[in-house]
């Protein structure tokens, strides 16, 4: 079974190389991308079923025993996120093909979308399954290198400005990341995550806490925690809808995953948990208030994305079984819902020809299916029952109530307030975009080219992909019981850490 851990990393890289070789054959690229991502969905599903039944699966690259060499490991948490991420990347690719941004609408165009998209998928998978800090850095760099290309495709002045902000912040965080790795190695002599769990615990408390806080800063930039979030609302809205969807659904969640993994396995400190609770509250409130101040639908959803990262940090900071269960449920829910909302945003702007809420109206009358596709994930994001967001938030609110500390109670109240503000924000989008008089059809100036802001026509692939992703979000709520069971077992693994360490280092360690 160990080969299943490597396939989500290797297959997209091999497919990216083939896609480059066939860069003048867009149809071959499309078929290749869909086949490879479908295979990864199957691989991740089989891997999750196996690790949930039999424990973590480990692959030692080159035959070197840890802590020397590169180790890939899939446990319940990484396998679950790998499966959800694979489903989202597949749906977004189908949407991209339908929108024709993959080749700018020209059947014979030379393009780089497919290779870069597959490289990004490989980087995301590597971040999930790596067993050491340096390979985690490599995974982030693979992912970010591809994202630099995707976010600046078909450049305009606005995209260049936004792309510069994104690239500069990403390079800065990468510089801090490699510095953090150097400091950790200097203090412990290892970068293997399982080995660090023992070595860091033996360090003096001051050094241990300092390294833990440095880690929070590094991954906090990548996860867009307030006040390190400033780059996201300016960068994501300028990209095409499917690129923004995959960025919003996955890139920030990889940062959250890195925080969860390092803060539960390596850096466990009461001082850090208290700080994370405060950051979680500030992130929730500032993000929600920022969303309410926006008129651009994509910027509004970007601020909502920032806000709901706070929920994930809230559950992590509680560091209890039910709290971590809520975090895992919330990450799974948010990956699908946030990507769905940005895809629906792409459908809305394609129909109305604008991203301004003041300039659009009547979408529900003209395109009722788009209204349904927006309403379901929007209500889920706001935590309205019986959708997936409600299930995840109930777990987090219960964890906050059971913590019985003033700070936890305060953040729990902030979480409830943020849910109400989120509901108000999506209601603002509903009133602005879907109610009112139907606008005349938007005339597309170039029907064969990529559409930056709208066209009256929507391809079947775009609608199908969006509907499939919305259905996946509904499925999370329908199967909340089994999913909560897997998430609970994954949370217990995170708190205990024994199964992870023994899988990597052996029972003797």
For 353-459, where are the alpha helices, taking DSSP H only?
363-366, 368-382, 388-403, 406-429
**Distances from the Cα of 272 to the Cα of 215, 267, 269, 313, angstroms:** 11, 8, 5, 12
Q: What is the pLDDT of residue 167?
A: 85
Q: What is the pLDDT of residue 440?
A: 60
Q: What is the pLDDT of residue 446?
A: 41
344: tokens are 């629906």
Judge whether 507 lies within some domain. no
Helix (H) or strand (E) holding 71: strand 71-74
Domain extent, residue 356, equals 3-438+453-502
Judge whether 509 lies within some domain. no
- Which candidate, 182, 161, 164, places its Cα nearest to that of 172? 164
Q: How many domains does the chain have?
A: 1
d(CA 361, CA 371): 12
Q: What is the pLDDT of residue 129?
A: 94
For 224-367, where are the alpha helices, taking DSSP H only?
232-235, 241-246, 252-265, 270-292, 297-318, 321-352, 363-366
* Spans of the chain below 50 pLDDT: 103-110, 444-456, 507-509
Judge whether 448 lies within some domain. no
223: tokens are 């996860």
**Model confidence pLDDT, tens digit, residues 190-247:** 999 999 988 988 889 889 889 989 999 999 999 989 888 888 888 777 777 888 899 9
**Model confidence pLDDT, tens digit, residues 284-315:** 999 999 999 888 888 899 999 999 999 999 99
d(CA 144, CA 166): 10
d(CA 135, CA 139): 6
Judge whether 403 lies within some domain. yes
Judge whether 101 lies within some domain. yes
Judge whether 364 lies within some domain. yes
Q: What is the pLDDT of residue 149?
A: 84
pTM: predicted TM-score of the whole model, two decimal places: 0.91
Q: What is the pLDDT of residue 419?
A: 92
Q: How much is the CA Rg of the chain, to the nearest whole Å?
A: 22
Judge whether 55 lies within some domain. yes
Judge whether 421 lies within some domain. yes
Q: What is the pLDDT of residue 453?
A: 36
């Amino acid at each position: 079974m160990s080969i299943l851990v490597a396939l989500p990393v290797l297959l997209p890289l091999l497919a990216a190389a083939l896609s480059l070789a066939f860069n003048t054959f867009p149809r071959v690229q499309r078929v290749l991308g869909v086949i490879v991502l479908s295979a990864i969905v199957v691989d991740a599903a089989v891997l999750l079923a196996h690790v949930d039944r039999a424990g973590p699966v480990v692959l030692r690259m080159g035959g070197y025993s840890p802590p020397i060499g590169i180790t890939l490991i899939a446990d319940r948490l990484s396998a679950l996120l790998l499966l959800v991420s694979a489903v989202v990347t597949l749906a977004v690719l189908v949407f991209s093909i339908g929108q024709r941004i993959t080749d700018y609408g020209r059947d014979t165009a030379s393009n780089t979308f497919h290779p870069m998209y597959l490289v990004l998928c490989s980087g995301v998978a590597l971040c999930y399954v790596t067993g050491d800090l340096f390979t985690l850095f490599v995974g982030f760099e693979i992912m970010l290198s591809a994202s630099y290309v995707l976010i600046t495709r078909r450049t305009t002045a606005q995209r260049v400005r936004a792309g510069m902000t994104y690239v500069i912040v990403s390079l800065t965080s990468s510089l801090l990341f490699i510095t953090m790795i150097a400091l950790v190695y200097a203090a412990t002599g290892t970068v293997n995550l399982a080995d660090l769990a023992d070595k860091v615990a033996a360090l003096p408390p001051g050094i241990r806490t300092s390294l833990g806080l440095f880690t929070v800063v590094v991954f906090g930039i990548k996860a867009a925690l307030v006040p390190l979030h400033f780059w996201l609302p300016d960068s994501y809205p300028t990209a095409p809808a499917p690129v923004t969807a995959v960025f919003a659904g996955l890139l920030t969640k990889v940062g959250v995953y890195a925080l969860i993994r390092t803060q539960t396995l390596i850096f466990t400190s009461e001082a850090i948990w208290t700080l994370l609770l405060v950051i979680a509250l500030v992130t929730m409130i500032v993000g929600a208030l920022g969303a309410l101040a926006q008129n651009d639908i994509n910027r509004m959803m970007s601020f909502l994305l920032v806000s709901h990262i706070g929920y994930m940090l809230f559950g992590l900071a509680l560091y209890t079984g039910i709290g971590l269960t809520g975090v895992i449920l919330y990450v799974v829910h948010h990956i699908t819902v946030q990507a769905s909302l940005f895809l629906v945003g792409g459908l809305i702007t394609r129909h109305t020809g604008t991203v301004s809420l003041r300039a659009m109206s009547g979408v529900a009358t003209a395109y009722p299916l788009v209204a349904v596709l927006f309403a379901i994930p929007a209500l889920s994001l706001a935590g309205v029952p019986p959708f997936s967001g409600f299930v995840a938030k109930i777990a987090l609110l219960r964890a906050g109530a059971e913590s019985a500390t003033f700070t936890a109670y305060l953040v729990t109240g902030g979480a409830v307030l943020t849910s109400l503000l989120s509901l108000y924000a999506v209601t603002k989008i509903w009133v602005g975009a879907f109610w009112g008089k139907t606008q005349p059809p938007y005339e597309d100036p170039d029907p064969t080219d990529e559409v930056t802001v709208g066209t009256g026509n929507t391809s079947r692939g775009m609608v199908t992909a969006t509907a499939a992703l919305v259905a996946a979000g509904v499925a999370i709520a329908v199967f909340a019981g089994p999913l909560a069971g897997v998430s609970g077992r994954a949370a217990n693994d995170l708190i205990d850490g024994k199964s992870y360490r023994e899988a990597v280092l052996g029972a003797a360690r």
